[in-house]
Amino acid sequence: MSKKYFGTDGVRGKVGEPPITPQFVMHLGYAAGKVLANIGSERTGVLIGKDTRISGYMLESALEAGLIAAGIDVYLAGPLPTPAVAYLTRALRLQAGVVISASHNPFDDNGIKFFSAYGFKLPDETERAIEEALGQEMKTNTSDELGKAKRIDDAVGRYIEFCKSTFPTELDLRGLKIVVDSAHGATYHIARHVFHELGADVISIGAQPDGRNINDGFGATAPANLQHTVLEHQADIGIALDGDGDRLIMVDSEGKIYDGDQLLYVIVKHRQSQGKLNGGVVGTLMTNLAFEHAMSRLGIPFMRAKVGDRYVMELLQQQGWQLGGENSGHIICLDKHSTGDGIISALQVLHALRVNKQTMQEAARDLHMYPQVLINVKVSRGVDCLGHDKVKAAVKTAEKALDGKGRVLLRPSGTEPLLRVMVEGEDQELVEQSAQNIAEVVRKLAAR
């Protein structure tokens, strides 16, 4: 059974439009509370964290009201990265964690995503049960069966110490000048402290949230300011996170950008050299073909999951492996955390660089990325461009031109009304032209 509200990363949309309204979110909290209460054996507790969007206050109050009406005790953590909510849910032995965030999207979007008691995203069957409960009338518990609310005052400090604990105690970051870009998001009061307390000289940017500037010109999806600051201050490295702190890109001393595939490669190669790889690696349909070929050269098993960190996680758990990720910057190190974490991923890269006494350029030198072009085409929801004969013909033409030295991938976004057109191969000009040709066909169909 398909889900009506839950996408690949929770419930997400434009604030003020269904489903991101206070009325719906309160009902969502109530429905989730009733489902979670049936899972927990004793009184159920749920942690709520949020990013820095101005709408987070409104949605937090609505979610809190719905959960309490269902008899759930609520623990409020305030602005906190998504992976911090996953960690604290486990640490506090709660039944679930909830994050109010739209990740890398603009400030006028928002969303709700849930974590289980073990710090993993809720399985599909639980999300379906919540959707089923949404179809039932909301009936507030009697006064003696209402939940209570409590604020967690030390959430930030706990998470900072947890992040630091994933970096070897015998190593430090002294002598490194690092620029940290928090995207005016949920890591604004956390990220710089983690790297500074490990010894680095930290220059912080994108750490002045005003409720409306999250991801606006800063962070993992807009690295130009990071590149400029690294060069201006002659820093050794730059680290950019996204609005909710689970995505990472890095920049070297020359301002070159390293995406999730390249960063995962640095981590994987180091783990293999240390005899600590423990199995293979999971990428996605978007993972660069060069990464797959590199894994083959290293003799490391590699598998592709559907796009979305939850699918990477599912495949890792099925295989019993530890490392996986997306080229967008979601990197999962299951021996360190139960979910993708931008700060912890950056620490794993820095661990490899420190032990091997390498720069980022040296560590990633052997990975020769194929040119990859991604074009997002706006389409109306429910429009099936993928199945149209003209689109199929355009894809077939591109694949013939690539002649087995590249690939074409079309996929609908799981969070936005977009069709993503991706083409990669050895020839940059051919890749760009092929992507533009397919995108133009889709645009014409979408405009009808």
pLDDT tens digits, 416-436: 788 999 999 999 999 999 999
Residue 67 within any structural domain of the chain: yes
Looking at the DSSP bridge assignments, the partners of residue 275 are: none
Q: In terms of residue numbers, what domain contains 247? A: 175-256
Task: State the CATH number of the domain containing residue 101.
Answer: 3.40.120.10
Number of domains in the chain: 4
- In tens, the pLDDT along 320-363 reads 999 999 999 999 999 999 999 999 999 999 999 999 999 999 99
- 62 and 128 belong to one structural domain: yes
Do 23 and 125 have their domain in common? Answer: yes
Domain co-membership, 31 together with 133? yes
Domain check: are 325 and 400 in the same one?
no
Least confidently predicted of 12-26, 264-278, 378-392? 378-392
For residue 276, what pLDDT is reported? Answer: 95
Q: Exposed, middle or buried, 388 (CB in 10 Å: 0-12/13-18/19+)? A: middle
Which pLDDT does position 404 carry in this prediction?
Answer: 86
Residue 199: predicted pLDDT: 98
Rounded mean pLDDT, 394-400: 95
Give a yes or no: residue 163 inside a domain. no
One domain, residues 238 and 291: no
Instruction: Assess contact for 395 and 442: CB atoms under 8 A.
Output: no
Residue 84 has pLDDT above 80, yes or no: yes
Residue 380 has a pLDDT of 79
pLDDT at 90 > cutoff 60 = yes
Instruction: Report, as an integer, the average pLDDT of 10-38.
Output: 95
Mean pLDDT computed over 79-102: 97
Q: Is residue 287 part of a domain?
A: yes
* C-alpha to C-alpha distances, 416 to 11, 255, 381, nearest whole angstrom: 11, 30, 9
116 catalytic per annotation: no
Both 309 and 179 in a single domain?
Answer: no
Q: Are residues 15 and 151 both part of a single domain?
A: yes
Percent of the chain clearing pLDDT 90 (strictly above): 89
**Residue that wins the pLDDT comparison between 97 and 307:** 97
**218 and 350: one domain?**
no
Q: Are residues 230 and 127 in the same domain?
A: no
Average pLDDT score over the chain: 95
Helix (H, G, I), strand (E, B) or coil at 113: strand
Residues 190 and 274 in one domain: no
Q: Residue 43: what pLDDT? A: 67
pLDDT in tens, 59-69: 999 999 999 99
If asked whether residues 24 and 149 sit together in one domain, one would say yes
Q: Are residues 323 and 346 in the same domain?
A: yes
Domain boundary among 310, 330, 363: 363
Residue 376 has pLDDT above 70, yes or no: yes
Nearest CA to 334 out of 291, 284, 276, 285 is that of: 276
Catalytic residue among 55, 103, 116, 182: 103
pTM across the whole model: 0.92
Q: Supply the DSSP symbol for 188.
A: T
Model confidence at 40: pLDDT above 70: no
Residue 41 has pLDDT above 60, yes or no: no
